[in-house]
């Protein structure tokens, strides 16, 4: 490792010089209404600029691009977080009939999906997947450090019907290797891997950790690495059963700088379990519930943050954020929730102004 790689702080570390606890969003943001009627490259870029500016003006330190370019009206249940990644990959096809749909259903990989995202019929390659161009497009209008997100290889692999590899482990690592090649050299401050399936399938944790680490290890050393976990959000419903306590060993095995965890919608025991997270991993705490329209107040955010620091110890909370992405909520709700998020952090740290 070069001297510069050792000494030069990444952009997120620079942000921490301004605040010991940073605000961030998780990924998706509600689409501007006008984008649905004028979808195109220029409109997507303009809308991305609006989403970045909205977050920065609200006081979000590390915003996301809103994932607007991934939205697929034909797959609203996952906001494009699946098909966007797997269908461009070489070795897959998206046309399938009754026989393959029935074969996928027999796998019972994901009960909320009736059909596979794609069928794998050859070795997986990058195909036309190009995360570098998507990240560069966001960087051009970001106005500062930002987070770029991608779906976990484990979650993606569970949506596929495998007609080539013959076993899930090999299929999973095929997906992981494609994504690893995609995250190298991304022009962002933070790369975040999103996983909403393993919390309900802890028995697969060792395998999932290996695949996620394959992606994280490919991220440039100067870029912050994050992993987001939640228990699913489909129409405001939690779809995965489980607890953070059952996943502590898995979380500690990840080669990540920080975790981005759903907690606002979770029982108290989940927060207490995080005391067992390795101190090398910083904690991101969900303090905004995205499954409801209720607007948190800055005072509520400050109290949740105070409670988390008292339970986990001073300095353990590095980020506060919503539990998950905002795409299922109205913009008027999302905008006010992130404003309360930043104001609550400032109130807690004594930075609030009259």
- The structure tokens 């689409």 sit at 31
User: For the CA atoms of 69, 70, 72, 73, what is the dihedral angle to 10 degrees?
Assistant: -50
Q: Tell me the CA end-to-end span of the chain in Å, nearest whole number.
A: 47
Task: Give 164-213 pLDDT, tens digit per residue.
Answer: 999 999 999 999 999 999 999 999 999 999 998 887 788 889 999 999 99
The pLDDT of residue 234 is 55
CB 200 within 8 A of CB 241: yes
Residues 301-323 have a mean pLDDT of 95
Residues 284-296 have a mean pLDDT of 93
Q: Which domains, from first to last, does the chain contain?
A: 3-348 (3.20.20.210)
Residues 80-104 have a mean pLDDT of 93
The pLDDT of residue 321 is 96
Mean pLDDT of the chain: 89
Residues 154-160 have a mean pLDDT of 95
The rounded distance, in Å, linking the Cα atoms of 223 and 244 is: 26
CB 238 within 8 A of CB 265: yes
Give the DSSP letter string of 283-352.
EEEEEE-SSS-PPPPHHHHHHHHHHHHHHH-TT-EEEEEESS--TTS-HHHHHHHHHHHHHHHHHHTT--
Residues 252-272 have a mean pLDDT of 91
The pLDDT of residue 273 is 93
Of 30-39, 188-197, 199-208, 244-253, the least confident: 30-39
CB neighbour class for 202 (10 Å; exposed up to 12, middle 13-18, buried from 19):
middle
Does residue 354 register a pLDDT over 50? no
Does residue 78 register a pLDDT over 60? no
CB 257 within 8 A of CB 290: no
Report in angstroms the alpha-carbon separations of 17 from 9, 10, 20, 263, 352: 11, 11, 7, 26, 18
Prediction pTM value = 0.92
Q: Outline where the chain has alpha helix (H).
A: 3-7, 11-16, 33-36, 41-58, 83-86, 98-107, 131-139, 153-157, 168-183, 205-216, 248-252, 268-273, 298-312, 331-348
3-class DSSP assignment, residue 263:
coil
CB 66 within 8 A of CB 53: no
């Amino acid at each position: 490792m070069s001297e510069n790689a050792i000494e030069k702080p990444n952009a997120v570390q620079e942000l921490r010089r301004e605040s010991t606890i940073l605000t961030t969003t998780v990924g998706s943001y509600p689409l501007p209404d006008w984008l649905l009627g004028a979808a195109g490259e220029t409109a997507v870029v303009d809308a991305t600029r609006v989403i970045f500016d909205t977050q920065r003006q609200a006081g979000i330190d590390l915003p996301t691009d809103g994932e607007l370019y991934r939205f697929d009206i034909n797959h609203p249940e996952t906001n494009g977080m699946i098909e966007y990644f797997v269908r461009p990959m070489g070795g897959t096809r998206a046309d399938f009939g009754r026989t393959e749909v029935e074969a996928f259903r027999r796998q019972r990989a994901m009960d909320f999906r009736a059909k596979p995202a794609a069928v794998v019929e050859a070795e997986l390659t990058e195909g036309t997947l190009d995360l570098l161009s998507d990240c560069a497009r966001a960087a051009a209008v970001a106005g500062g450090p930002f987070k770029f997100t991608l779906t976990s290889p484990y979650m993606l692999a569970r949506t596929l019907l495998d007609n080539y590899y013959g076993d899930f482990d090999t299929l999973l690592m095929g997906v992981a290797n494609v994504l690893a090649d995609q995250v190298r050299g991304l022009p962002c401050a933070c790369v975040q891997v999103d996983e909403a399936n393993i919390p309900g399938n802890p028995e697969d944790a060792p395998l999932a950790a290996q695949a996620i680490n394959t992606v994280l290890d490919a991220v440039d050393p100067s870029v912050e690495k994050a992993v987001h976990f939640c228990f699913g959000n489909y129409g405001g419903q939690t779809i995965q059963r489980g607890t953070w306590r059952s996943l502590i060993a898995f979380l500690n095995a990840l080669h990540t700088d920080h975790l981005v965890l759903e907690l606002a919608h979770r029982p108290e025991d989940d927060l207490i379990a995080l005391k067992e997270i390795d101190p090398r991993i910083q904690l991101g705490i969900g303090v905004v519930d995205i499954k409801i329209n209720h607007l948190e107040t800055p005072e509520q955010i400050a109290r949740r943050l105070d409670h988390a620091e008292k339970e986990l110890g001073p300095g353990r909370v590095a980020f506060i954020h919503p539990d998950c992405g905002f795409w299922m909520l109205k913009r008027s709700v999302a905008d006010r929730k992130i404003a309360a998020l930043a104001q609550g952090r400032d109130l807690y740290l004594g930075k609030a102004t009259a």
